[in-house]
Amino acid sequence: MQGRVVISGAKNAALPALTAALLTEDRVILHNVPRVRDISTLRSLLEDLGVDSSVTHEAHGNRIEIEARQLLNPVAPYELVKQMRASVLVLGPLVARFGQARVSLPGGCAIGVRPINLHLKGLEKLGAKISFDHGYVQARANGLRGTDFYFDTISVTGTENLMMAASLAEGVTELENAAREPEVQDLACLLNKMGAHIEGAGTHKIRIHGVSRLHGTEHTIIPDRIEAGTFLIAAAITGGELQVERCIPEHLTAVLARLGEVGVHAVQVAGESSNGGQILRVKPGGKLRALDISTEEYPGFPTDMQAQYMTLMTQAGGSSVITETIFENRFMHALELARMGADITVSGRCAVVRGKTPLSGAKIQASDLRASASLVLAGLAAEGETLIDRVYHIDRGYERIEEKLTLMGAKISRVSESD
């Protein structure tokens, strides 16, 4: 595979940005919003709440205009929340601005239990009354008040939910052991443009000086670092030369460091890409070396790159141990890779990958978003044809992946059930 690929906006930055628009009655305009299914699901939820929104195609991604002038009903229904647990991100903004929210509890997920106890504990500390009934969490508040909150576990959407809620609280809030992900920083940047006073995003201590009102603004969503990492591995596993454009290499430091040690050298090309953002170029680097990794919160090696990295390790010389520290059940892809000939042993949160093993095409099925990406990568490296079932998972977070891969020389097409 060769060529160039242009990275889309980050799903995990666009989702909280859309819910942040609930914090003001003014218009919020977002650019570089990826055309992925999770965004459409969230837009349906926002429209259910009574929010007006419109979408326009732009050169890169979509422009979405959102206006939450009023609220019809503060309810995030089970039907939508079960499709996308990030719907929980409406909770903080709704209770902060409208004093009430009723959100279906997300329930379990393929990759782990994923409770929202820290979101709720934090909202309670901000003064909200939390109750549960019929599978829903109800939050009520007569105005929130600033507080200090320590996250027992670092949580990305937990940090985002409380940062949004605290923006309209009376007084100062300090979030400790907060998530440092670039998506959290991008949300803080948007909120500050809306008139919030947030300091320290990107560190473990975020301080929010509450304000009485937020206003409209215009904001461009950051590029998707996980999509960029996925394509870097696509090039590495096929021995191709690739230019990854419209990305922010700094957001991929841990990934680039590990790939470098494995023998995949991606260099930053000087200057801006004609599509905006920076450029990473990866060239074929010879034999892949096995290397142990452990997933961590940012700036460590992201859990959302673990599955793709596992596929790469099936083509590396030697054994590697992959430790998943964030989610308790994120090795579903290992069984499917084994069906293609990979030699992987999973025990609890550790997987041992023995390489290099030739992969052969097979009928396999995706279990979640990043698992499906890892199976597409395996299909690119395998001999013969691979048929991946349940690819709807991949459409949740990758924009037109088969078109982008085809432009890089891959033989990949979408087939419907009946074919």
Which are the catalytic amino acids?
109
Q: How far is the CB of 84 from ligand EPZ (least distance, A)?
A: 8
CA separation for the pair 396, 370 (Å, rounded): 10
Instruction: Pick the closer one to ligand EPZ by CB: 4 or 330.
Output: 330
Token pair for residue 349? 């949160």
Contact (CB, 8 A) for 173 and 149: yes
* Closer to ligand EPZ by Cβ: residue 17 or 382: 17
Compute the least distance from the CB of residue 114 to ligand EPZ, in Å: 4
Residue closer to ligand EPZ by CB (options 56, 153) is: 153
Q: DSSP string spanning 81-119?
A: HTT-GGGGGGHHHHHHHHSEEEEE----BTTB----HHH
For ligand EPZ, give the closer residue by CB, 114 or 339.
114
Three-state SS sequence of 245-263? EEECHHHHHHHHHHHHHHC
Chain positions contacting ligand EPZ, by CB under 6 A: 12, 15, 86, 112-119, 153, 155-158, 183, 303-304, 326-327, 369-370, 397
- Least distance to ligand EPZ, CB of residue 8, Å: 13
Phi, psi torsion values for 29, nearest 5 degrees: -115, 125
For 6, 219, 234, the CA distances from 412, given in Å and listed in that order, are 18, 34, 13
Provide the 10 A C-beta neighbour count for residue 75.
20
Q: How far is CA 165 from the centre of its chain?
A: 21
Please give the single-letter amino acid code of residue 5.
V
For ligand EPZ, the closer CB: 165 or 362: 165
**Smallest distance, Å, CB 126 to ligand EPZ?**
15
Residue 304: CB minimum distance to ligand EPZ, A: 4
